[in-house]
Amino acid sequence: MSRKPIIAGNWKMHNNCAQTIELIEGLKQELKDIDKNLLPEVVIAPVFTSLYVADEELKKCGCNKISLAAQNCYYEPKGAFTGEIAIDMLKDFNLKYIIIGHSERRQYFNETDEMINKKAKAILENGILPIVCCGETLEQRERGITDSHIQSQITKAFDGISAEDTAKSVIAYEPIWAIGTGKTCDSIEANRVIKMIRETIKSLKGDMAANSIRILYGGSVKPETIDEQMAQSDIDGALVGGASLKADSFAKIVKGAMAKAGV
């Protein structure tokens, strides 16, 4: 079955409002002559404080080629949670996706699988779609526990979520040792792990969810790597960090996914 690819840019803690507008303007320019139906889904995830201007900038000239994502959220609807942002608040900005469980959140902010599961459920209840990140450390890979670790992350993240909601969700497989290091995971190996994730979804939620869910690869994706990554059977796109911060390199990655997009 055909799955619409997604190329999502995770801007991390970069770009104030003015820089956000500039980058979106550059991206719109790069994509302006391409028919939307030929593009993959293009998603950008600016910092919270730039979501308003990003949304306004995307609405200008009716740009419907780029969707917005947030990089995180909290699962409680409101209350005494200083510094957190509720999903209902993020709904002010026409978000399609919220990234959860990024390894930087797990590593530096102690996010647990249980929290990620609560976030995934709350996001889906609010009519937004989670991009659930998973991936192994170098130490886990060297110990040979990559698959069991990721199976556990996925099982916990999707606990109590229906097959229908799972089908609409997105997973990003991001080997931690490949994030921001310039070392990409070999495409055949990334595809093997992504197939294993799809099998895990199949055993948990059935065929429909496994065949529909889009599973992205993330970890030092660059314009030079995207063709080979997109040529793999189960890689449905990319979550891109560093290379999404420049309009021309991100646009090249978007264009690299077009061969699979026009289906």
Catalytic residues: 102, 174
What gap in Å lies between CA 248 and CA 31, rounded to an integer?
Answer: 10
In the list 77, 180, 206, 262, the residue contacting ligand PEP (rule: CB under 6 A) is 180
Name which of 109, 71, 101, 245 is nearest 176 in CA terms.
Answer: 101
Q: Which is nearer to ligand PEP, 158 or 242 (CB)?
A: 242
Least distance from ligand PEP to the Cβ atom of residue 251, Å:
15
Q: Give how many residues touch ligand PEP by CB under 6 A.
A: 14
Site string for ligand PEP, 225-244 (x = CB under 6 A): --------------xxxxx-
Q: Which is nearer to ligand PEP, 69 or 210 (CB)?
A: 69
Least distance from ligand PEP to the Cβ atom of residue 104, Å:
7
Which is it for strands 214-218 and 170-173: parallel, antiparallel or unpaired? parallel
Least distance from ligand PEP to the Cβ atom of residue 62, Å:
29
Enumerate residues 115-174 that contact ligand PEP by CB under 6 A: 174
Biggest CA–CA distance in the chain, Å, is 52
DSSP string, 223-257: TTTHHHHHTSSS--EEEESGGGSSHHHHHHHHHHT
Q: Nearest residue by C-beta to ligand PEP?
A: 241
Chain centroid to CA 68: 11
Q: Does 9 engage in binding with ligand PEP (CB under 6 A)?
A: no
Decide if 201 contacts 209 (C-beta within 8 A): yes
Least distance from ligand PEP to the Cβ atom of residue 42, Å:
16
What gap in Å lies between CA 167 and CA 26, rounded to an integer?
Answer: 33
What gap in Å lies between CA 28 and CA 3, rounded to an integer?
Answer: 24
Binding site for ligand PEP (CB under 6 A): 10, 12, 174, 179-180, 218-221, 239-243
